[in-house]
A and B are shown apart, each in its own frame.
Chain A
């Protein structure tokens, strides 16, 4: 049987479909409640997927994230609070529409944009990934070293306003990855004689601590009053939707393209995709002055973009094992756990699994229509769930989920420590995503470097001897040097400006 029909068999299994349905409901819930994000949904899903076969595990994550990114628009439109960071770009716009009594239209655009964008991202993933994988088959440890460097650099630079803080976060992640027995030399590092530390810091407790526990801490210490449930009655969201979508079909396409591309960029995920698409939409609009006043155009751009970004971010993750954002960083950890080492060889040896993942993307975005509609209809009840009840339950879930991986409370301790670290980091403007990327990619970076050096007998120039490696290396070095160069130039320009201002 060919891999594609095998993949259909894998995904149309009633068990997998049930898992996807449940994960979809979970994702909608997590996305719709402000403070619980798509990343947190993924983090909390991982301990459960740990016990599943690869296909249902990945399909669950795909479905939950697609739903959560859309559901973030619901409180955005109704309460002016983005449910996930990916909706933040157009929350004001959507809420302005609600104020004008057009909440149905805003949500209808969000949902249809999400479906179109999501399907577009899935299509790009399904067509681009196998082609790229063909090229990636020729890669050796030299190329992987540069790819890991490039991915990590982008992650550090893109994810926050301050490149230094992104770098620090990345270094913290890389450091945590070095804890434990060094697989190359067999020497224990930073274990302080503790046997449990020898195995290294498992990424699941780390990620649950940094994404979920940190959020619980933020929630119990939040001094801002809680939001009130929306009063609006939600009617038919399809009313008047057709003309708007026909009018802005180019925006739909443009948002999807930008979202997919930005998503594929390492370090930039759906949230950045939405911001960029919204800005581009405004720039090229015939009526930019209407943006911000409850104008549907920007929502079309951004709502399709953030869902398209999901598919895009899986491209580098599946093909090279380089995550596009924090969600795919978690996915890569899951792939390793499932013995599907991400990279081009998966396409060779387990193509049916890869095609099943692609199919789950399409299916999840189609399921978005009925499930998303249900979520919109029940938004009032969803937003009524009190946070004081939810947070303790999430806390217990964090504990049990962490414990479930290795059956040791040591991991619960790891989660506690890293949750506190992540909380303090975010308070002080250090982004968390680079740390998770560092933790996941650290071993790849180190192994590919040491392996390359053993092959090349310690000759550093070997990193530039193969053509693709040389190209990747030069680009990486340019990315490293560019900020310094710009800073120097700016330094020269600024004093001149300053003296000009004095006059």
Chain B
């Protein structure tokens, strides 16, 4: 998704205003001129200024650069589905990993994404790749590096 610089500039200014508003509640450091406010406020001011510059540039270039152009893939339902599925799978992992456990969640994530990207034709090999990759990852991080990957519904097995 490509936006005109003016649109990006406007978003920046709104964001900078929000940041600045938040900093108003920061307490000063006792006995000092400069405290926890200074940095975020400087950043917000510089952001707003850059935003203004971008707006000027964007308005100047408005004939060559439309306000908003959807990326090529956004017109292709297949690619939009890929994108949404990727985000949905990440959210699924964040929400489900603890309850379901690493192995089932990771396997589902890989199996679904692999099947979507490679087509149902390769279902069998996709499932196999998902299984191998999940177990390999669990071994490498869970066993070798001792990362406490959640077990969830599976009993914690020692290999």
Instruction: State how many angstroms separate the Cβ of B7 from the closest Cβ of chain A.
Output: 9
Complex CA distance for A424 and B97, rounded to whole angstroms:
27
Complex CA distance for A446 and B37, rounded to whole angstroms:
11
The 4 tightest CB contacts between A and B, nearest first, are A388-B117, A458-B33, A221-B73, A182-B36
For the complex, is B59 an interface residue (Cβ under 8 Å from A)? Answer: no
Known contacts A174-B43, A221-B73, A223-B73; is-contact A413 B94 (Cβ 8 Å): yes
Q: Residue of A at shortest CB range from B82?
A: A220
Question: Could you tell me which residues of chain B, from 70 to 110, have a CB within 8 Å of some CB in chain A?
Answer: 71-73, 76, 79, 82-83, 86-87, 89-91, 93-94, 97-98, 102, 106, 109-110
Residues of B within 8 A of A424 (CB): 1
Residues of B within 8 A of A393 (CB): 110, 129, 133
Known contacts A171-B43, A397-B137; is-contact A223 B79 (Cβ 8 Å): yes
For the complex, is A140 an interface residue (Cβ under 8 Å from B)? Answer: no
Complex CA distance for A96 and B149, rounded to whole angstroms:
49
Cβ of A223 and Cβ of B29 under 8 Å apart? Answer: no
Interface size class of B (residues with CB under 8 A): 35 or more
Residues of A within 8 A of B148 (CB): 407
For the complex, is B46 an interface residue (Cβ under 8 Å from A)? Answer: yes
Known contacts A388-B117, A416-B94; is-contact A427 B71 (Cβ 8 Å): yes
Q: Residue of B at shortest CB range from A411?
A: B94
For the complex, is A450 an interface residue (Cβ under 8 Å from B)? Answer: yes
Instruction: State how many angstroms separate the Cβ of A308 from the closest Cβ of chain B.
Output: 34
For the complex, is B26 an interface residue (Cβ under 8 Å from A)? Answer: yes
Residues of B within 8 A of A446 (CB): 39
Cβ of B114 and Cβ of A187 under 8 Å apart? Answer: no
Say what secondary structure dominates the interface of chain A. Answer: helix
Residues of B within 8 A of A427 (CB): 1-2, 71
Total count of chain A residues near the partner, CB < 8 A: 52
Residues of A within 8 A of B27 (CB): 185, 187
Instruction: State how many angstroms separate the Cβ of B14 from the closest Cβ of chain A.
Output: 14
For the complex, is A51 an interface residue (Cβ under 8 Å from B)? Answer: yes
Residues of B within 8 A of A175 (CB): 19, 40, 43, 47
Instruction: State how many angstroms separate the Cβ of B102 from the closest Cβ of chain A.
Output: 8
Cβ of B129 and Cβ of A389 under 8 Å apart? Answer: yes
Residues of B within 8 A of A404 (CB): 141, 145, 147
Known contacts A190-B40, A221-B73, A427-B71; is-contact A392 B145 (Cβ 8 Å): no
Q: List 27 A-B contacts (CB under 8 A).
A: A164-B54, A168-B51, A168-B54, A171-B43, A185-B35, A189-B26, A190-B22, A216-B86, A220-B86, A221-B82, A223-B73, A386-B118, A389-B114, A389-B118, A391-B113, A392-B110, A396-B137, A400-B147, A407-B148, A412-B93, A413-B94, A416-B87, A420-B87, A427-B71, A428-B2, A449-B38, A458-B33
For the complex, is B17 an interface residue (Cβ under 8 Å from A)? Answer: no
> What string of 1s and 0s marks CB contacts (under 8 Å) between A244-265 and chain B?
0000000000000000000000
Q: Which residues of A contact B (CB under 8 A)?
A: 48, 51, 164-165, 167-168, 171, 174-175, 178, 182, 184-185, 187, 189-190, 216-217, 220-223, 386, 388-389, 391-393, 395-397, 399-400, 403-404, 407, 409, 412-413, 416, 420, 424, 427-428, 430, 445-446, 449-450, 453-454, 458
Cβ of A222 and Cβ of B110 under 8 Å apart? Answer: no
Cβ of B35 and Cβ of A416 under 8 Å apart? Answer: no
Number of A-B contacts (CB under 8 A): 152
Q: Residue of B at shortest CB range from A407?
A: B148
Known contacts A217-B86, A223-B72; is-contact A190 B94 (Cβ 8 Å): no
Complex CA distance for A458 and B97, rounded to whole angstroms:
50
* Interface-central residue, A178, A388, A412, A454, by most chain B CB under 10 Å: A388
Instruction: State how many angstroms separate the Cβ of A334 from the closest Cβ of chain B.
Output: 16
Which of B12, B22, B34, B102 has a CB less than 8 Å from the CB of A168? B12
Which of B33, B36, B72, B146 has a CB less than 8 Å from the CB of A189? B36
Which of B8, B79, B147 has a CB less than 8 Å from the CB of A407? B147
For the complex, is B158 an interface residue (Cβ under 8 Å from A)? Answer: no
Known contacts A178-B43, A412-B93; is-contact A164 B147 (Cβ 8 Å): no
Instruction: State how many angstroms separate the Cβ of B108 from the closest Cβ of chain A.
Output: 11
